[in-house]
Amino acid sequence: MTRLSVNINKIATLRNSRGGDMPSVTKAALDCQRFGAEGITVHPRPDGRHIRYDDVRELSRILSVEFNIEGYPSREFIDLVCQVHPAQVTLVPDAPDAITSDAGWDARANGRMLKQIVSTFKSEGIRTSVFLNPDPAMVPYAADTGTDRIELYTEGYARGYAIDPQAAIAPYASTAAEAVRMGLGINAGHDLSLENLRYFADHIAGLDEVSIGHALICDALYLGLENTVRLYLRELR
């Protein structure tokens, strides 16, 4: 069964636009948990424009579902993750000023660095995931870091799905097959939506988890948060 982790960054973006605590990040996370989401994802960035480090600390104290923290492994990020001890950390190669994630790691060029960071988190008992483009050739290098999982960067799939679903899914299916062959778990995220999620999940063998934020929160504006979470879960079932 593929698990749904809801990324609540956009809740924090809305809150930060006015200051204060409306909408409440913690309430949104607890509501998603109550509505059936199996995980909560956050991606704190250095400029604090959405999820802040204090949010991460607070969420770590109140959640009972899996907590996934994404981010570039700066010293500050590593210290935060080791402090709050989430179920999973997802390493992404974002530049500090990135608007959103826009590429996976070159695991070959960055293998030594990633191996050291993965080792740090695994020594703390934290499951690790490395963000990858859909490229089977990158999987052995990711596996060599010692990571538990890869996360497939799915913007390309989402963009191509409306044109040719079979062509769009093909590189993801082959990358996932290589990951399964090498004993890695598989996560996925970025621009997955109610329109394209079921096809993706049906064609990716061994898909453990999807992390969905932007589309899900946008849908919730029209459909309500509870109904939206349940609709995404239905697509995965």
Report pLDDT digits (tens) over 120-168: 999 999 999 999 999 999 999 999 999 999 999 999 999 999 999 999 9
Distance CA(21)–CA(58), nearest Å, equals 13
Q: Is the pLDDT of residue 213 over 80?
A: yes
Please determine, for residue 100, whether its predicted confidence score (pLDDT) is greater than 80: no
Supply the residues annotated as catalytic: 43, 70, 190
Going by pLDDT thresholds of 50, 70 and 90, the confidence category of residue 38 is very high
Token look-up 């799939």 returns 157
pLDDT at position 96 is 65
pLDDT of residue 101: 64
For the stretch 160-177, pLDDT in tens is 999 999 999 999 999 999
Paired with 209 in beta bridges are: 3, 187
From 126, 128, 125, select the one nearest 143 (Cα to Cα): 128
Please enumerate in sequence order all residues whose Cβ is within 8 A of that of 123, keeping only pairs 6 or more positions apart, or say none.
none
pLDDT band at 47 (very low <50, low <70, confident <90, very high): confident
Interior/surface letters 173-200, b for 16+ CB within 10 angstroms, e for the rest: bebbbbbbeeebbbbbbbbbbbebbebb
- Per-residue pLDDT band for 98 (boundaries 50, 70, 90) equals low
* Cα–Cα dist 89/42, whole Å: 10
* Residue 110 φ/ψ, nearest 5 degrees: -110, 15
Angstrom distances, CA of residue 167 to CA of 115, 173, 222: 33, 10, 31
| pLDDT at residue 48 in the model | 83
Question: 51 near 18, Cβ under 8 Å?
Answer: no
Stated pTM of the model: 0.95
What percentage of the chain carries pLDDT values higher than 90?
Answer: 92
Q: Find the DSSP H helices in 49-196.
A: 53-62, 75-84, 111-123, 139-144, 155-161, 165-181
